[in-house]
Structure 1
C-alpha cells in the first residue's frame, strides 16, 4: 500500500473533497492517458476502488434517513437528525452534491446514544454478553485471573454465479495464533482439503484453501483454544528507568508521525516523563474524547490514526491505531492485536492494542471497550481496560499491514487486517461475492 503515500493530482483531490465523485472518475480516466509514473497510476487505480467503496457505504439520503428514524424511534423530530450529524453519531459525506449518510448510521446512533436507544419503538434484547463481561472483569480484579475454553467454527460462504463457477478459488480463513493470553490451539477439521496453515507465530495467521468451486460454496474451519488472563495491578511508581526501544517506528500510511499527531501527543502528555502515566494520559484522552463510530471500510481511509485524531470518532480499530501511534510518538512501544470477540452469546470482529512498560512487559489497552464502559458510567471497566483485557478474545493478528501467506493477487477486502477472511480466483477478486460465517460451538470457564 505504499502508493497511499502519494498524493492525488489537485483537480481530482478537489472534486473528491467536494463529493463530486463522478467527475473525479472522469478526470482519473484523463490522467491515465498522460505520461504518469507507475506509483501514481496505482494510486489512481486505488482511488477508483475507494470511490466505489464510498458510494456503496453511504447510500441514505436525508429524506430516507429521516423516514427510517421516524419508523424506528418514538416521536423523532426532523431537527434531531441534524443533531445526530453534528454530534458525530451519524457519519456522512457528500456524493455528487448531496449529503449521504452511512448505511449503519442508525445502528451506530443506537449503540452510543442512550437517549435515542431508550426511545426505540422495538426495544433491543438484553445484552447478555455485556453483563457477563462486566461480571468477569470484576472477578479478574478480585481473584487475579480467569481462563476460558473457546470452540468455534468460522469461514466464508461464496456466492456462485457464472463468473465464478468452475474456477479455482483461493481462500484465507483467520485462525488463532500464539499470543501472551492464547494457549492450547487446536485446529480440529475443515470441510475442504487445505493447502497451507500458517505457523502459529505468523503475524496474520490463516488456513489457506485452493479448490474448484462447484456446488459446495462454503469454506469452513473448526478450532478451539484457551484464553488465560492474569490481572495486571499497575503501580505508577514502579516503573523502570530504562525502557526498550522496539515497536517505535512509523508504518505509513496509518501509523504516521505527522506534525498534527506529534502536536496532539505533546498536548496530551505535556511534561509527563513516566511512560506508564504517559500511556494512561493517551488512553484517557481517547476514551474521553473520541466518539465511538462504525466506520467505512478501512481501505477508504487514507490515514487512519490521523482520521481519528482530526475527527475524534472511530471504531475499535481506529481508536487502537490512534493509541498505538501516539504511544510510539511518546517513546512507548505499542502494537496491534485483533481477531474475534467470543462469548457464549455473541461472536464478532474486534481490535485492540498492546503497549510495553518495564517491569510489566506487554500490557493491553482496549480504548473502545474502555470508552464504552465510561460512557455507561462503569468506572471499574474504564480503568480495567487500561493494562488488562477480558478473556473473550481470539487473536488472529498481531501486526497491522502485514501480508497474508500465500499473498493475494488482488487487493484484499481489508488490506491491513484479517478477521473474517479473503477470497479470489486467478481472474477476479471475490470481495463482493462472500459473506462471513461465525458460529459459536462452546464457550466455558476452565481452571487457570
Structure 2
C-alpha cells in the first residue's frame, strides 16, 4: 500500500530544523490568514504515517481533515490519477466532456442513499458543493430561505460563511453575509438542558416551531444539516431528530440537504452517515474523502431536483477535473476492496474502548462521541483538581493536549464551537498497532496535563 514504514519515529524535536527553515520561508511569502495546526513540513505520507522533511514519522489522527481516508498515497488513487495525467490534465467538462466525470456520477448514484433516479454535478470543494446545493434547491422550489443549525459548519465562501455557526476563525471581520439564512437549534444531547434522552424530540419540535413562526415553511427552499456535525464538535444529533426534520421538509416541499462532506465515504462505518437512521436526503453534498486527496466535490440528488437549474447554470472551469475524477474512482475502488466501512467500525470499537477507560481516570473528559473513525472527546473543567467534572468547556485543556501529542509525534486536531473538543480522524487504513500507540500517547498526554 505504501513504502513508508508504518512506525512512529522522532529524530528531532517537533518541528525540526528543516521544518523551521521552511517555516521562515513560508512566513515571508504565504498570507498570514492561512494557518496550520502544526508547522511540520511533510515529505511523504501513507497508511497511518506522515513523514516530515527532518525524517520524523508522525502517527496521523487527522487524515488531512477526513480527506485521506484511503491513506495519502493509496495505490489505486496513484495508479488511476497517474494514467489520467499521461492522457490529459484538463479540457473543461463544459467544453468537451470525458468519461471519468460520468463514471463518478454513476458511482455516486449507486452509493448514495435511496433507489430513486439520481444525477450529480461535480465541483472543486465542499463549500462549492454546498453553495450549488442552495442554488439547485432555490431553482427547484422557487423559494429563497435556507435553514441551518446551531454548531453547523458549511464552508468559507460568502454564502457558506453565512450558513456556518462559528464566528472565530471562520466569519470574524468578513461580513456582510448572504441574506435569507436562518439558524435553528440542533439536538446536542450532551448540552441539552433537559438531558440527552429528551433531546431528539424536544430539539426537533423547537426547530420546527421556529421555522414555522419566524420564516414560514412555504418560504424555505432548503434545510441543510451535517448528519454528524464536524467543526461544531462531532455532535451526533440525538436519535429521532434527523428523521423528524427530514419528514417536516418532505411534508412542506422543502429540499432536505445532507452535508456529508466530512462524514461521508465510509468515515462513520457506513457509506454515508445519514444511513444510520434511514434518512434518504433529496440532495447530498460530498467532498473531502471522495478522491483520496485530490480536489473534488459533488452534489448528488433526485434527478428532477438536480435538473431544475437551467443549462449552463451549474459548473466551473475545474469542476470534475479528469485527474481528480480518476482519483475518486481509485478511492472508491479501495474502499470497496478493503471494506473500509468494516475498518471504520473496528476503529470505533478500539478508540471508544480506550477512551472510556481514560474517562474513568481523567474526569475532564466530559463526553465521548462519534461513529466509525469520526470520534471525539469533549473536555470540561473539573470542580477541583481531584473533583468531579462540570460541563464548563475547557478549551485550554484541548490546546494543551494537542500540543503534548504533537511533541510526541501524534497529529491530532481540535474543534468545537467552544474550542474544547479533541477530534480523531485516522485514515481508515491505519494499522491497529499504530492506532493503539497513538492512543497510548494521548493517555500519557492526559497524565502530563
Q: TM-score range by the shorter chain?
A: under 0.3
Report which of the two has the higher share of helix.
2
Relative to the length of structure 2, the TM-score reads 0.27
Report which of the two has the higher share of strand.
1
Which protein has greater RCO, CA pairs closer than 8 Å, 6+ apart? 2
Relative to the length of structure 1, the TM-score reads 0.27
